[in-house]
Structure 1
Amino acid sequence: MPLLINRQPAADRWTLIQPQEGETLEALATGVDALLVPIEQLDAAAALNPAALGVQINGDHSVAQLQPWLARVTLIAVEFPVFRDGRGYSLARQIRRLGYEGELRAVGNVGRDQLGYMERCGFNAFSLADDRYSPDTLKAFSEISVRYQGAADDPRPVYRQHSESTV
């Protein structure tokens, strides 16, 4: 899966570990430096003291569950299970409002037409399916030049943007 970080193609150093019944996190995580786990496994993963710890959440989780970990995790992956599920946008905005400055990655059903808005909500990394990526994908970040509402990237509404640029 192609990965974009800060609008640039990048290699994915993270390994997502999701233990199934009968498997242990310790056994699966052996030799893994950058460990990404579902939030339900975060306590156990932190006890393994990996070089880098990341967490994957979805719209069913609340930021309150994640808040105690914001200083410890270096990656938060927010899963978008289907296109019509926009809860991940709200999660990203809330996470950034809490001061998280690390990698905030959109995973799952992520498409080119969503990238600009996801970035405005606070995402700085995007994992796209192979069939949804092309060299043209990077243009998605600059296709819309006028934004009426404020967001995580620029809190000013359009009338403030205009008035401040003419002063």
Structure 2
Amino acid sequence: MPLLDRNGSAEDRWTRSEGAAIGNIPAALVPWELLVEALDTQEPEQVVGVLIPNNVPFAELAPFLPRLALVAIAFPAYADGRGFSLARQIRRAGFAGEIRASGPLIADQFAYALSCGFDTIELPEANAARQPVPQWLHAKDSFSATYQRGYGESGRNVLDQRRAARAAAPIAAE
């Protein structure tokens, strides 16, 4: 599946493991159901990521975050936005690793996904063919401001812009 980051196409260094045995995989992406077993068998030089459904309660995921390098959130459909909320919770908890959206998102959701804390988006082949990389980049750049505060995009949200304008405006005499 094609992988995008904020600059366009990206190379995927992660190998999906359908089982918990991650023996010689340097960067293993395991399903949520097998995470505990995979972490128990993790070698010191390995990094582990997890692919979670978008309905996993954050409280269940939180204890594992310090041991993970990637959290991939599955989107069953582009209209199911629970993954965006989960990504924000993960970032707010201080997770500095990669957060990936995995599923049939559309280009119009790219800027929002980045502002929610996603680093990468993994698309099914059909979606990538329907909306190629230049369309995703155009959609991302077509928003000059957002309503929510994002990650790594200071000054792009409306609230920060209004505060900066108010601070720069001369004080009116009364």
| TM bracket, shorter-chain basis | 0.7 to 0.9
Equivalent residue letter for 1:97: R
The 1-side partners of 2:141 and 2:82 are apart by 24
Report 1:66-81 matches (<5 A). 66-81=61-76
Kindly state the Cα deviation for residue 63 of structure 1 after the two structures are TM-superposed.
1.1
Is 1:80–1:106's contact at 8 Å kept on the other side of the alignment? yes
Report 1:1-167 matches (<5 A). 1-19=1-19, 25-26=20-21, 29-50=22-43, 51-133=46-128, 134-136=132-134, 137-152=136-151, 153-154=153-154, 158-165=158-165, 167=168
Equivalent residue letter for 2:13: R
Equivalent residue letter for 1:80: F
Distance 1:116 1:155, change over 3 A: same
| RMSD between superposed Cα atoms in Å | 2.1
Equivalent residue letter for 1:68: P
Could you say which residue in structure 1 is the equivalent of 2:172? Answer: none
Q: Which has the larger radius of gyration?
A: 2
Kindly state the Cα deviation for residue 147 of structure 1 after the two structures are TM-superposed.
2.0
Equivalent residue letter for 1:162: R
Kindly state the Cα deviation for residue 78 of structure 1 after the two structures are TM-superposed.
0.4
Distance 1:35 1:140, change over 3 A: same
The 2-side partners of 1:157 and 1:142 are apart by 14
Kindly state the Cα deviation for residue 121 of structure 1 after the two structures are TM-superposed.
0.7
Kindly state the Cα deviation for residue 101 of structure 1 after the two structures are TM-superposed.
0.9
Kindly state the Cα deviation for residue 131 of structure 1 after the two structures are TM-superposed.
3.3
The 2-side partners of 1:158 and 1:72 are apart by 35
The 2-side partners of 1:60 and 1:148 are apart by 25
Structure 1 gap ranges (5+) = 20-24
Kindly state the Cα deviation for residue 37 of structure 1 after the two structures are TM-superposed.
1.0
Could you say which residue in structure 2 is the equivalent of 1:22? Answer: none
Equivalent residue letter for 1:141: K
User: How many residues of Structure 1 are paired with residues of Structure 2 in the alignment?
Assistant: 160
The 2-side partners of 1:9 and 1:3 are apart by 6
Is 2:16–2:30's contact at 8 Å kept on the other side of the alignment? yes
Structure 2 gap ranges (5+) = 169-174
Instruction: Tell me the TM-score normalised to structure 2 length.
Output: 0.81
The 1-side partners of 2:147 and 2:11 are apart by 34
Instruction: Tell me the TM-score normalised to structure 1 length.
Output: 0.84
Kindly state the Cα deviation for residue 43 of structure 1 after the two structures are TM-superposed.
1.0
